[in-house]
Structure 1
């Protein structure tokens, strides 16, 4: 097992990465408790696989659970209302801990509810998907989706502990594992060319090799922890973590946050388009987008709008969806672009016609 520290002063916490962490949850959670009360938020698929084992791992700690429906549709106003009301039904005290057991949807939703109840309950992330382990469980971003866009309602609320049990990844459906890999590749593309080269060599082996999986999770978490420690509230460097997300979030909105396009798949398409746009603007060589696309293709991930099933809005409408992004500043949309693999940066100097041309070429 490895431990990555997220250094945020009084709000610092550890991210544990390794096998068997769900079964040993009690030993890790116990130091947070002044009384034996853990409130679990999870969803049906994960609950069937892991809830009983989590409760056994927690030992004598009481662990009532709210079991929600899986999918992005749960990360909504109604899902937030239901979660907050359930937590209040448990008559919580500020010494209690909300524990999110599941993927990014459950982590974001439970974290948002924990931030609201009693003006802030502590919470623990136990992410069970690759995407949640390498990205959404670390850094304190919580939130829900609305008709206006993805994650536009929420709060920064850091967890007290993150337990990334890499054994849970063995139960993922292949598509879900691949979607999570979209976020793993993002880390190499935005700031670590050596990691991306490592992924080109080892990425195809992650699904079958526990040691490779753990190393990919550890390196991804380490990079995110370092960025969050420098810029907790996304005033600067943290925006780099949105590589691929401006395009990806617009595509998710256009597909109704449905199974047509999973979040990590949207990030993969978005990363390919961000490198296409970078090359079109003369920021990087034409070879860089080709290398990105070759790796995404080798990992079975979508790379273009034409890879998304069903009809999509035109380029102009997609740009309008991008304009609802959280990164808009002074009315100008900021993109994360790249001067090469591992050399991402944030800019607002992007002509709309160049964005639309990249989208049209991707159909």
Structure 2
């Protein structure tokens, strides 16, 4: 049997992130006392959702399948409302639960549906993408997108456990796997340099879902996030460091109407944040350049359209970290040492963007 790793996430509502292969049968054990369980999944993930449902049914649970649209297109208030309607029709009570099967978008949506139904029921994310495993499913952030921006509507609602079944990565499209590595690289720069060293030694192995390198990278990244969110669930302090590179990334996603992969946008955002750190006199040139070198070695994008800057700047002004009219960016002072840059001038922001513009 494959080795199973339990990574604890502390805080008032502690839980474990479980990493391994063949974990489907463990989902029921995380939900004692739940008579009814809703499984949210897209039609593209029918086979994996069916396996989860079979495990729940075998444990005597009454299962309701709720189909949701693929990827970011499903993270809407309309989809959430449809889910709540189905929970109501099935008679879900506070003792029942939600299981979200899918990538980061599916777990964001599923967690939000669970957070709002009866003001909060238990839920378990079963992430099927690398991005979901290392980022979206860990930490209790749930949410949907609106015309105003990405994830501006949501709730902090920790799961009772997370099941990261590495079997799901074996059939994940290469571009989706690679995109997820952007969040792993972020963890390397903000907290765990061993991630960067591992990727630099063998970028090809870092993108091979069956390699030991990928498992190590996933566990490194989960431990980074678990350490941060365990002490700051509601992003009132240290948790903001996880947004390194995300201010521009979320703006790109909005300008692209959420058709860009989140990890691709984060990749560009990381290069931008590094350059902003350098220009602000906070980060040395070599570490700033290392961002682009590692991301490029993985095949991730590091540039975006020069003419998009006015729209991107407007989108950044409604970023969650902004305070009034003042933009706030997570920056690096040195490798694995973060800080906030508050109210940078428009000239400085534009100069940093020139480094990623094409």
Which TM-score band (shorter chain)?
A: over 0.9
Once structures 1 and 2 are overlaid, which stretch shifts more, 58-67 or 118-127? 58-67
Mind listing any 5+ residue stretches in structure 1 that lack a counterpart? 307-311
1:141-179 deviation line (CA, Å, top 9, x unaligned):
000011110000010011011000011011110111011
CA shift, 1:35, in A, is 4.0
SS of residue in 2 equivalent to 1:192: coil
SS of residue in 2 equivalent to 1:325: coil
Measured in 1, the distance between the counterparts of 2:203 and 2:354 equals 30
CA shift, 1:340, in A, is 2.7
The residue aligned with 1:110 is: 110
1:339 equivalent to 2:340? Answer no
SS of residue in 1 equivalent to 2:62: coil
1:163 equivalent to 2:201? Answer no
1:222-274 deviation line (CA, Å, top 9, x unaligned):
1101101121110111000001100100000011111xx21011011100111
The residue aligned with 1:309 is: none
Measured in 1, the distance between the counterparts of 2:36 and 2:214 equals 32
The residue aligned with 1:277 is: 276
Once structures 1 and 2 are overlaid, which stretch shifts more, 288-297 or 177-186? 288-297
1:215 equivalent to 2:216? Answer yes
The residue aligned with 1:46 is: 45
The residue aligned with 2:258 is: 257
Check conservation: 2:272, 2:352, Cα contact below 8 A.
yes
Measured in 2, the distance between the counterparts of 1:184 and 1:322 equals 23
The residue aligned with 2:9 is: 6
CA shift, 1:52, in A, is 2.1
The residue aligned with 1:175 is: 175
Check conservation: 1:115, 1:155, Cα contact below 8 A.
yes
The residue aligned with 1:320 is: 314
CA shift, 1:286, in A, is 1.6
Once structures 1 and 2 are overlaid, which stretch shifts more, 71-80 or 160-169? 71-80
Q: Which runs of 4+ in 1 moved over 3 A?
A: none
Once structures 1 and 2 are overlaid, which stretch shifts more, 100-109 or 210-219? 210-219
Measured in 2, the distance between the counterparts of 1:202 and 1:113 equals 40
Mind listing any 5+ residue stretches in structure 2 that lack a counterpart? none
Q: Considering only aligned residues, what root-mean-square deviation do their CA atoms show, in Å?
A: 1.5
CA shift, 1:203, in A, is 4.0
The residue aligned with 1:245 is: 246
1:41-87 deviation line (CA, Å, top 9, x unaligned):
0111112x312222233324332211122021210121111122122
SS of residue in 2 equivalent to 1:101: strand
Measured in 2, the distance between the counterparts of 1:52 and 1:66 equals 12
Measured in 2, the distance between the counterparts of 1:341 and 1:199 equals 16
Check conservation: 2:184, 2:195, Cα contact below 8 A.
no
Check conservation: 2:34, 2:97, Cα contact below 8 A.
no
CA pair 274-126 structure 1, distance change in 2 beyond 3 A: same
Q: What is the 5 A alignment of 1:33-182?
A: 33-47=32-46, 49-58=47-56, 59=58, 60-182=60-182
CA shift, 1:313, in A, is 5.1
CA shift, 1:202, in A, is 4.1
Check conservation: 2:255, 2:311, Cα contact below 8 A.
no
The residue aligned with 2:23 is: 21
Measured in 2, the distance between the counterparts of 1:19 and 1:200 equals 26
The residue aligned with 2:299 is: 300
CA pair 42-332 structure 1, distance change in 2 beyond 3 A: same
CA shift, 1:18, in A, is 0.6
Check conservation: 1:338, 1:344, Cα contact below 8 A.
yes
CA shift, 1:349, in A, is 4.3
Check conservation: 2:71, 2:103, Cα contact below 8 A.
no
CA shift, 1:129, in A, is 0.5
Check conservation: 1:100, 1:111, Cα contact below 8 A.
yes
